[in-house]
């Protein structure tokens, strides 16, 4: 019995000691000095009428591009470029091994030589016929030959002249055929139609290719445009020159632009039509993602803050709200679109809230803002 009483006494003593320790720690925490933050600026949240915007997405494309393809069948014997290489107009890109075309060109060249020799032979015959005719004409004047003999020599002269004309025609025909064969043979050398950068390549060394088959795509990287897919239900609300807010997340750029061109036909599959916006930003690449915010001509009530007021920690988006006692509290918010230097706040704030907009890196939870 005595041991039991002693054990209970020890337990109560330990509990009292723990309670006193917790009270001491709580008192110590309550009496801890409050962190004071200076050099920050605040903005009072106000709900105002903001333009109602439609968000559309699209891709960055080169304004000028060329798909390089082959006109004759063959195999790739020389490949001088890779993706990302910069080329100049007229530069050799691919050499094809097309023996049939090359043989045809050689035959055509030989045909030209043969036709040219035929012309020379016909000219020689004509020269001989002319000389013979002149002699017989003198003899005929002297009545040394008959009329029939004179007519035979005149006919031979005329036939020799016609032979020259036929030979010259065959030479012209052979030269035209040789030119066509040489042109076909030149198709084995595929050159760059424009200056730019190799954006994609579909053929490799040794591959067999066929007429019309794309080999590579060249893009002029000096001029880009953003192609946005606009829904057809706003077709009457936008036109070339209409303003919009463009955002290119990959290069961290947001700016106001105007629609330069609208494709007049819609895609029957997606029920959208393409609007093109000229771009002149640095660091653009074809295929980059882009967004556009187009005003619908109406307004809605909303809240916006400077971008510097929004603090992002991974997937957590928050702001520092300051209460009536000037104590900073983290407030989780949901953000919308970015328009210029301000961000739309969809939830988490209301009218009258005060938010830290500059110097957010100085603020901590529970700090006093002065």
Query: What per-residue confidence (pLDDT) applies to 185?
Result: 67
For residue 68, tell me if it sits in a domain.
no
For residue 29, tell me if it sits in a domain.
no
Hey, which residues does 180 pair with through a beta bridge?
none
For residue 152, tell me if it sits in a domain.
yes
Whether 26 shows a pLDDT value over 70: the answer reads no
Q: Tell me the Cα Rg of the chain.
A: 44
For residue 82, tell me if it sits in a domain.
yes
Contact between 80 and 92 under an 8 Å Cβ cutoff? The reply is yes
346-360 pLDDT, tens digit per residue, is: 888 888 899 999 988
For residue 17, tell me if it sits in a domain.
no
The rounded distance, in Å, linking the Cα atoms of 179 and 165 is: 21
Q: How many CB atoms lie within 10 A of CB 302?
A: 15
Choose one of 176, 197, 219: the last residue of a domain: 219
42-89 pLDDT, tens digit per residue, is: 989 888 877 777 888 999 999 999 999 988 888 888 899 999 899 999
- H or E element, residue 196: strand 196-201
130 shares a domain with 110: yes
CATH number of the domain to which 312 belongs? 2.40.420.20
Query: What per-residue confidence (pLDDT) applies to 114?
Result: 84
Helices (H), the chain: 2-30, 99-141, 147-186
**What's the Cα-to-Cα distance from 286 to each of 136, 227, 244, rounded to whole Å?**
83, 11, 21
Query: What per-residue confidence (pLDDT) applies to 314?
Result: 84
List all residues 6 or more positions away from 94 whose beta carbon is below 8 Å from its beta carbon.
Answer: 68, 70, 76, 78, 79, 80, 189, 190, 203, 215
233 shares a domain with 199: no
208 shares a domain with 83: yes
Query: What per-residue confidence (pLDDT) applies to 226?
Result: 94
Residue 148 sits in which domain range?
Answer: 99-184
193 shares a domain with 87: yes
**pLDDT-derived band of residue 194, with 50, 70 and 90 as boundaries?**
very high
For residue 179, tell me if it sits in a domain.
yes
Max Cα distance, the chain (Å): 179
**pLDDT-derived band of residue 343, with 50, 70 and 90 as boundaries?**
confident
DSSP 8-class letter at 233:
G
Instruction: Count the domains in the chain.
Output: 4
Query: What per-residue confidence (pLDDT) applies to 22?
Result: 45
For residue 83, tell me if it sits in a domain.
yes
175 shares a domain with 103: yes
pTM here? 0.56
């Amino acid at each position: 019995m005595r041991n039991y009483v002693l054990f209970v006494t020890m337990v109560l003593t330990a509990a009292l000691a723990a309670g006193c320790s917790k009270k001491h720690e709580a008192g110590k925490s309550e009496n801890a000095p409050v962190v004071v933050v200076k050099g920050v600026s605040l903005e009072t949240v106000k709900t105002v009428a903001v333009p109602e915007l439609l968000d559309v997405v699209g891709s960055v494309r080169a304004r000028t591009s060329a798909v390089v393809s082959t006109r004759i069948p063959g195999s790739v014997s020389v490949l001088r470029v890779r993706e990302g290489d910069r080329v100049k107009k007229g530069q050799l890109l691919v050499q094809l091994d097309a023996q049939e075309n090359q043989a045809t060109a050689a035959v055509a060249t030989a045909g030209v030589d043969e036709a040219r020799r035929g012309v020379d032979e016909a000219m020689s015959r004509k020269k001989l016929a002319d000389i013979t005719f002149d002699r017989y004409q003198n003899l005929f004047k002297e009545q040394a030959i008959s009329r029939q003999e004179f007519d035979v020599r005149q006919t031979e002269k005329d036939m020799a002249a016609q032979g020259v004309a036929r030979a010259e025609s065959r030479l012209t025909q052979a030269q035209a055929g040789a030119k066509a064969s040489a042109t076909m043979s030149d198709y084995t050398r595929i050159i760059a139609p424009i200056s730019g950068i190799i954006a994609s390549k579909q053929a490799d060394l040794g591959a067999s290719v066929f007429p019309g088959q794309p080999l590579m795509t060249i893009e002029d990287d000096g001029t880009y445009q953003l192609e946005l897919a606009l829904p057809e239900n706003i077709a009457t609300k936008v036109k070339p020159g209409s303003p919009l807010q463009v955002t290119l997340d990959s290069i961290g750029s947001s700016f106001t632009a105007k629609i330069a061109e609208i494709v007049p036909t819609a895609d029957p599959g997606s029920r959208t039509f393409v609007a093109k916006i000229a771009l002149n930003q640095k660091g653009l690449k074809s295929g980059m993602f882009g967004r556009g915010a187009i005003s619908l001509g109406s307004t809605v009530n909303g809240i916006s803050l400077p971008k510097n007021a929004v603090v992002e920690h991974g997937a957590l988006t928050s702001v520092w709200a300051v209460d009536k006692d000037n104590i900073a509290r983290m407030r989780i918010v949901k953000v919308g679109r970015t328009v210029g230097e301000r961000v739309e706040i969809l939830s988490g704030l209301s009218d009258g809230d005060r938010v830290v907009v500059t110097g957010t890196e100085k603020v901590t939870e529970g700090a006093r803002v002065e």
